[in-house]
Structure 1
Amino acid sequence: MMREPTPACQLADAHCNLCGAGMREAHDALCPVCASSARQRVMRSVFQALPHGLLAWRTLAPAPAPHGLDERWFAGRATAPDLALAEPADVVEALDRVSARGVVYLGGDGAALAGLLALHCAPCSVIAMDVADPGSPARLAASLLLRDGADAARWLPYLQARHGQAAVAARVVEDPFAPLRAELACWEAEELECGLWWRDDDLVADSPALRRLAALSQRHAAPVLVAVIPAQADAALARATEDGMPTLAFCQHGWNHTNHAAPDQPNGEFGAAREAVEAEADLVRGSERMRELFGERFMPVMVPPWNKLAPALAARLPALGLYGVSQYLSEPYTPVDGLVRVDTHLDIVDWRNGAGVREPAALVGRLVAILQMRRTGQLSEPIGILSHHRVMLDGTWRFLERLLAVTADFSCVRWLHPRDVFDESTSMIQKEAQCAA
């Protein structure tokens, strides 16, 4: 039977709530009998506030440690004499691995934790508390992460009754992908096929980040067009990508990713400021290097660094053996005979914040707006997602992983191979030309 919330009791003497031993030691001192820390005593205090019936699901948890608490119930690193906020990946991993309904996290304030979880696409409910250590005068920040919002509403009054209403607050971290799910449901209802494709820029060498990219691509059957900087690539990269990375295709990312623009102009390697002869020579050198390194895996597509390409150079690409170009949707464009342009539409890296993590809700909002344009005929090309594996932080990787997982839930979504993207665009251009004739 579930009991009613009980008011917090005021102990005359400090006692360890794990073994009952008296304590008069300094902050975070170990219990002289059971060796529990302030962190462990606070966690026990949090769960003691809850009726046993609410915790019945924890009987399925692994056997607890000798002090009666399972360390997997919470996350966060303790560094004497203070408890520090855990690394973002630690908190998100804690929420990922919890198989029941919640996990305790100690350290940091609840508002910062909620913001962190939102940035890492981890929807849940957060109950943030300021809890007194039964064994010392110290108070510690503690948070409960709960997947089910109904659990948070049910647990909140018991925790407020035990620790004080002002010391306990609940926040909801919304699922940033909910609008995307709603839009893709419209595609399915209208029996439309949603074509997406993926481009990743700035490859120069084998790395753990590249292998993470390749594994993610293969796991979700989402091929990637990887733009390689030819001057900085070598045979070691070609060998490393030859086996075990079947979902990657390779294209040319300029020559050396060197800025040739004037100081007061946007960065660009192949902008209008360069001498045409010099620029064309770099493009030819780059194409030759790409064919030498990647052979048939090289797609003759040019991705200009910083997405800037002078119209005069664009017009010369087919003569130089480059039949495709990929920039960003907002860049100006003049059609060129024999050249197919397929742009990316969503750059998931926040370049205005030092290659930081963009707000997932803002990214999803932009993607939904582009999907709506495509669904209503305002946009004709497949929607391109742009990543940069070399600089991406954990939050950006997590967004990408969640995006791939969400789209996998909808049969209308198809992640296109880059070759199909450019082939289909070529066919579309030819059809439009025939109609015009």
Structure 2
Amino acid sequence: MSTDWAALDQELQTWVDQGLTLPLWWRDDDAIAPTAELDQLTALSTKLGLPVHLAVIPKGATKTLAHYLTETTQLIPVVHGWAHLSHAPKGEKKAEFGAHRPVDEIIKDASQGLSDLQKLFGPELVPMFVPPWNRIAAEVVQELPGLGFTALSTFTPRKAPLAAEGLAQINTHVDPIHWKGSRSVVPPQQLLDQVTKQLNARRLGRADNTEPYGILTHHLVHDAKIWRVTEALIARLMAGPARPWTFDTRNLI
């Protein structure tokens, strides 16, 4: 079955005709070490002209990854929880930073993650917290600014520009992986329809277009179809109203 890009193309052209721009950012999760898949991610990022905010798991992060990042400007390290280990009871959705442990224990893990990656990456580390599985308890969010974090990133459109005082909320909005199905790519037409509706909502003021529009990927589990659709989608956006956005404390929304 062929994929019909017409509706998305029309939406993107309307953005261009109206002089609108789409701040576009890319987050990729679960990095620990250099791999062939990371090479592919870096090459695609370079080809598309869109840097990747690489969510690194602190507990398993290697010095070889830190060295790898010194050789490219396409990958921007951010903090991906602590160990990517779920503490949720059986039957509940996975979460490492959910309300399943004492708050002080959870905060200790978040602080350790930031500290360890600062030692590993130095000033190149961006103080953005990305909770594994995009889940985090509200009481934990309130503690993040005091640890040194300046942004929180989860999934779905944000409800407000700030998650807490001094903590920007910068989410991701589209994920090409069909996690609850084939674990290959989401049916492409379904994916394109989702993007079209999201961009339409932004253009018409029903959603916050000051929040960077986020692409979420997981390079370690991509098959050829996921890579292909991800590239095609980002290329389409970049050829239209999208402008690359990268984290900078001076441009926080």
What does residue 339 of structure 1 align with? 167
What is the aligned-residue RMSD (CA, Å)?
1.7
Question: 1:193 & 1:330 partners in 2: Cα distance?
Answer: 17
Alpha-carbon deviation of 1:193?
1.0
- Do the aligned partners of 2:141 and 2:163 also contact (CA within 8 Å) in 1? no
Question: What residue identity is the alignment partner of 1:300?
Answer: P
Give the aligned residue type for 1:416: W
Structure 1 residue 332, shift from structure 2 partner: 7.7
- Code of the residue aligned with 1:323 in structure 2: it is T
Equivalent residue for 2:80, pick from 253, 256, 262 = 253
Deviation digits for residues 313-357 of structure 1 (CA, Å, limit 9, x no counterpart) = 100001111111000116888841111111111011110125222
- Once the 2 structures are TM-superposed, how far is the Cα of residue 407 of structure 1 from its aligned partner? 2.5
Within a 5 Å distance, the mapping from 1:354-433 to structure 2 comes to 354-380=182-208, 381-410=211-240, 412-419=241-248, 423-426=250-253
Out of 16, 20, 25, the residue aligned to residue 197 of structure 1 is: 25
**Does structure 1 residue 278 correspond to structure 2 residue 105?**
yes
Q: Residue deviations 1:190-214, cap 9 Å, x none?
A: 1111221111111111001111111
Alignment check: 8 A CA contact 2:76 2:126 kept: yes
| Aligned match of 1:287 | 114
Could you say what secondary structure the match of 2:84 adopts?
coil
**Closer/same/farther in 2, CA of residues 423 and 384 from structure 1, 3 Å limit:** farther
Q: For structure 1, which runs of at least 5 residues remain unmatched after alignment?
A: 1-114, 116-172, 427-437
**Whole-Å separation in 2 of the counterparts to 1:316 and 1:413:** 33
Instruction: Compute the displacement of 1:264 (Å).
Output: 2.7
Aligned equivalents of 2:33, 2:4: Cα separation in 1? 33
Whole-Å Cα distance in 1 between the matches of residues 250 and 29 of structure 2? 21
Which amino acid in structure 2 is aligned with residue 382 of structure 1?
P
Instruction: Indicate if the aligned counterparts of 2:157 and 2:172 stay in contact, CA closer than 8 A.
Output: no
Task: Indicate the residue corresponding to 2:133 in structure 1.
Answer: 306
Q: Deviations over 1:76-104 (max 9, x none)?
A: xxxxxxxxxxxxxxxxxxxxxxxxxxxxx
AA aligned to 1:246 is: T
Aligned to 1:364, the other structure's residue is in SS state helix
Tell me which amino acid in the other structure corresponds to 2:91: D
Q: CA deviation at 1:409?
A: 2.7
Deviation at 1:299?
A: 0.4
Contact persistence 2:24–2:242 (CA under 8 A): yes
- Report the Cα distance in structure 2 between the residues aligned to 1:360 and 1:199, rounded to whole angstroms: 20
Alpha-carbon distance in structure 2 between the residues aligned to 1:186 and 1:332: 25
In the alignment, structure 2 segments of 5+ residues that lack a partner are none
Q: Taking structure 2 as the reference length, what is the TM-score of the superposition? A: 0.93
The alignment partner of 2:87 has SS state of coil
Per-residue Cα deviation, 1:237-263 (whole angstroms, up to 9, x for no partner): 1112210x2121110000000000111
Distance 1:402 1:195, change over 3 A: same
Letter in 2 for 1:305: P
* Alignment of 1:218 onto 2:46: yes
Deviations 1:219-241 (A, max 9, x none): 11101111000001111111122
Q: Which residue of 2 aligns with 1:17?
A: none
* Higher Cα radius of gyration: 1
Aligned equivalents of 2:79, 2:57: Cα separation in 1: 7
Q: Distance in 2 between matches of 1:253 and 1:352?
A: 22
Whole-angstrom distance in 2 between the partners of 1:353 and 1:248: 29
Q: Distance between the aligned counterparts of 1:332 and 1:392, measured in 2?
A: 30
Between 1 and 2, higher relative CO (CA 8 Å, sep ≥ 6) is seen in: 2
Quickly say closer, same or farther: Cα 1:226–1:176, change in 2 above 3 A.
Answer: farther
The superposition leaves residues 139-166 of structure 1 with CA deviations (integer Å, 9 ceiling, x where unpaired) of: xxxxxxxxxxxxxxxxxxxxxxxxxxxx
Contact 1:197 1:417 in 2 (8 A): yes
Match of 2:154 in 1: 327
Mapped to 1, the partners of 2:186 and 2:165 lie a distance apart of 37
| Cα distance in 1 for residues equivalent to 2:85 and 2:163 | 26
**Offset at residue 305 of structure 1 (A):** 0.5
| Paired AA for residue 196 in structure 2 | V
Q: Aligned partners of 2:239 and 2:166: how far apart in 1?
A: 37
1:385 is displaced (CA, Å) by 0.8
Alpha-carbon deviations, 1:238-294, whole Å to 9, x = none?
112210x21211100000000001113211000011111211111111111110111
